[in-house]
Structure 1
Amino acid sequence: MPQHVQGVIAPGRNEPVRVETIVIPDPGPGEAVVKIQACGVCHTDLHYKQGAINDEFPFLLGHEAAGIVESVGEGVTDVTPGDFVILNWRAVCGTCRACTRGRPWYCFATHNAKQKMTLLDGTELSPALGIGAFAEKTLVAAGQCTKVDPSVAPEVAGLLGCGVMAGIGAAINTGNVGRGDTVAVIGCGGVGDAAVVGSRLAGAAKIIAVDIDDRKLDKAREMGATHTVNSRTADAVEAIRELTGGFGADVVIEAVGRPETYEQAFYARDLAGTVVLVGVPSPEMKLELPLLDVFGRGGSLKSSWYGDCLPSRDFPMLIDLHQQGRIDLAAFVTETIGLGDVEKAFARMHEGDVLRSVVVL
């Protein structure tokens, strides 16, 4: 029987979000209803509100979440009611050309729930990244549920559902940071700081954090950066080269998603070094680089989707590392809030003084 719950919607482009009653259908084949315990406020949610992703309003916001499986539909065997899960937005299909070649993190046919959640009047909602977790409960594809150790705090676990996984994965999975490498991270919000954590975990010898905000640079040092550069007052490329013996970094992770910072990343890497773009650009942005420089510098220019993660592999591993004290996922949680505080959380995000506001239900 359909359930009525409270959830946060974005009704239209740049309109204030509001709490509404959401209708959650019973799970159909391959689907699951999850009772949400915590959900991080991610910049992608703000992009949805601003219409920067698409214009399929109204959106049910929230996607960086953890909770308890309440019920499952026909044919679901990987999760059962009562399982503690992190939600992911790339449920792999297992049958596309990437999956059958053993590279499921590049799955070309990721999927979501087929049924729609609605408002009371029947208006269909577009769930952010196919999840919609600023709600007491949500409907997802069962493959979007990844079981992890239930002893971890939900507000910590949920962060792996997007930003923290994207940053750690950009360093470890996409950038292949190795022992003794030099790494530069441009942009020190939640994703950038996670890239710092991932680089430290991988054994990087030098981790250079770049931002225009000294508060963010201080936090990056706490997370493991060995050096910081304020690019408002210094030339980021020259500073990175100076800190790497004049060569540039082995891996440069661009966590902003702007042409000017990507260009910094391109020229701040060593010859045959790697650039990883994990910051999300907006549709109108264009990049212009001399093609001869692209050819002459060699190396790799990579984009990192979701940290090139495989949730079933990476989420449990990172939870284990957190519980062992090898990474501190709780350090990303700046504040916990309620459903009615999401609009204020977006404002704090603009001010730059939070890594993550986390909605706790």
Structure 2
Amino acid sequence: MPQQVQGVVAPGRNEPVRVETILIPDPGPGEAVVRIQACGVCHTDLHYKQGGINDDFPFLLGHEAAGVVESVGAGVTDVAPGDFVVLNWRAVCGQCRACLRGRPWYCFDTHNAKQRMTLAGTSGAGGTELSPALGIGAFAEKTLVAAGQCTKVDPAVAPEIAGLLGCGVMAGIGAAINTGGVGRGDSVAVIGCGGVGDAAIVGSRLAGAARIIAVDIDDRKLDTARRMGATHTVNSRTDDPVEAIRELTGGFGADVVIEAVGRPETYEQAFYARDLAGTVVLVGVPTPEMRLELPLLDVFGRGGALKSSWYGDCLPSRDFPMLIDLHQQGRIDLGAFVTETIGLGDVEKAFARMREGDVLRSVVVL
């Protein structure tokens, strides 16, 4: 029987979010209902609220989540009620050309729940259909997802920590290790030191990078980047980041430059701050109107690789449990990403703190 729960909805472009009663249908074939225990406030949720992703309002926000499977639909065998899971927004299909070639992290046909959650009508029946952020919608007491979006992990880890793997932390660590191929002794520059950028720093350190240069316009973020493992910092408000990165790498540029902002001007900085035959990784999320212009001769002449990182090119079933293990071994500190825990009614305030730059992650705990 459908359930009524509380969830955070973005009703329209740049309108304040509000807590609404939503209707969660029983899971259909291949679907699962998950009781959410914690969900991080990610910049992508703010993009949804601002209309920077698309205009399919109203959105049920939240996607960086962990919780417990409550019920599953027909044909679901990989998870069962009672399993502690991290939700992912790239449930691989196993049948597309990428999956069949052994590259499921590039899956071209990832799937979500087929049924839609709705705003509860005045009679208690379903009303307006909701668009769940990244196919998840986890600023809610419960949510409906495709069962493949549920990745089982060790329940000994606190949900407010585990849930961060669902987006930002995985995106940053994966951008360094999976997409950028950072290796032992490499020099790495990370432009933009929010949650994703700091995770890229953690990933670079884990991979054995010798020099990790953090670039941002906010000294508070640069201080945090040092705590996360950066060996050098550059305030690009006062110093030319390209020249500073070159100076810190013997005049050559970094082996890998990770752009975690998603703007044309910072991408251009990343392009020119890399060494010849170096790699640029774009993991920051641009908005639809942004355009990039580079001299084609420079693209040709500098060689190397220009890559985009989809979700850190991760395979959730492989990478989530591995990172949880590394956290439990003390090799990475996922808890360092949690700045504060809040309630469902505090999401709008968390967006304001995000814009002010004084949080790494606010996490809704239910």
- Which interval holds the TM-score relative to the shorter structure? over 0.9
Q: Secondary structure at the match of 2:91?
A: coil
Tell me the equivalent position of 1:94: 94
TM-score of the superposed pair, with normalisation by structure 1: 0.99
Q: Secondary structure at the match of 2:4?
A: strand
1:5 aligns with 2:9: no
Q: Distance in 1 between matches of 2:332 and 2:8?
A: 31
The alpha-carbon deviation at position 56 of structure 1 amounts to: 0.5
TM-score of the superposed pair, with normalisation by structure 2: 0.98
The alpha-carbon deviation at position 147 of structure 1 amounts to: 0.1
Q: Secondary structure at the match of 2:297?
A: helix
Q: Secondary structure at the match of 1:185?
A: strand
The alpha-carbon deviation at position 238 of structure 1 amounts to: 0.3
* RMSD, aligned α-carbons: 0.3
The alpha-carbon deviation at position 283 of structure 1 amounts to: 0.5
The alpha-carbon deviation at position 8 of structure 1 amounts to: 0.3
1:267 aligns with one of 261, 266, 272? 272
Q: Distance in 1 between matches of 2:27 and 2:291?
A: 42
| Structure 1: runs of 5 or more not aligned | none
Q: Distance in 2 between matches of 1:52 and 1:204?
A: 34
The alpha-carbon deviation at position 251 of structure 1 amounts to: 0.2
The alpha-carbon deviation at position 160 of structure 1 amounts to: 0.3
Q: Distance in 2 between matches of 1:268 and 1:123?
A: 48
The alpha-carbon deviation at position 65 of structure 1 amounts to: 0.1
| Structure 2: runs of 5 or more not aligned | 120-126
Instruction: Encode CA deviations 1:121-154: one digit per residue, 9 max, x unaligned.
Output: x110000000000000000000000000000000
The alpha-carbon deviation at position 339 of structure 1 amounts to: 0.1
Q: Distance in 2 between matches of 1:60 and 1:281?
A: 21
Q: Distance in 2 between matches of 1:300 and 1:50?
A: 32
Instruction: Encode CA deviations 1:16-36: one digit per residue, 9 max, x unaligned.
Output: 000000100000000000000
Q: Distance in 1 between matches of 2:88 and 2:60?
A: 16
- Which runs of 4 or more aligned residues in structure 1 lie more than 2 Å from their structure 2 counterparts after TM superposition? none
Q: Distance in 1 between matches of 2:221 and 2:353?
A: 14
Q: Distance in 2 between matches of 1:255 and 1:332?
A: 16
The alpha-carbon deviation at position 199 of structure 1 amounts to: 0.0
The alpha-carbon deviation at position 53 of structure 1 amounts to: 0.5
Q: Distance in 1 between matches of 2:91 and 2:178?
A: 18
Tell me the equivalent position of 1:345: 350
The alpha-carbon deviation at position 102 of structure 1 amounts to: 0.2
Q: Distance in 2 between matches of 1:265 and 1:16?
A: 34
Instruction: Encode CA deviations 1:200-241: one digit per residue, 9 max, x unaligned.
Output: 000000000000000000000000000000000000000000
The alpha-carbon deviation at position 197 of structure 1 amounts to: 0.1
Tell me the equivalent position of 2:213: 208
The alpha-carbon deviation at position 82 of structure 1 amounts to: 0.2
Q: Distance in 1 between matches of 2:351 and 2:217?
A: 20
Q: Secondary structure at the match of 1:326?
A: coil
Instruction: Encode CA deviations 1:225-284: one digit per residue, 9 max, x unaligned.
Output: 000000000000000000000000000000000000000000000000000000000000
Tell me the equivalent position of 1:104: 104
Q: Distance in 2 between matches of 1:162 and 1:38?
A: 13
1:331 aligns with 2:336: yes
Q: How does 1:176-215 map to 2 (within 5 A)?
A: 176-215=181-220
Q: Distance in 1 between matches of 2:58 and 2:290?
A: 25
Q: Distance in 1 between matches of 2:229 and 2:26?
A: 45
Tell me the equivalent position of 1:227: 232
Q: Secondary structure at the match of 1:123?
A: strand
Instruction: Encode CA deviations 1:302-326: one digit per residue, 9 max, x unaligned.
Output: 0000000000000000000000000
Q: Secondary structure at the match of 2:67?
A: strand
The alpha-carbon deviation at position 98 of structure 1 amounts to: 0.1
Q: Distance in 2 between matches of 1:243 and 1:57?
A: 46
Q: Secondary structure at the match of 1:14?
A: coil
Q: Distance in 1 between matches of 2:214 and 2:13?
A: 33
Instruction: Encode CA deviations 1:101-125: one digit per residue, 9 max, x unaligned.
Output: 0000000000000000001xx1100
Tell me the equivalent position of 1:299: 304
Tell me the equivalent position of 2:124: none
The alpha-carbon deviation at position 68 of structure 1 amounts to: 0.1
Q: Distance in 1 between matches of 2:297 and 2:128?
A: 52
Q: Distance in 1 between matches of 2:54 and 2:292?
A: 21
Q: Distance in 2 between matches of 1:56 and 1:217?
A: 36
Q: Distance in 2 between matches of 1:12 and 1:282?
A: 17
Percent identical = 92
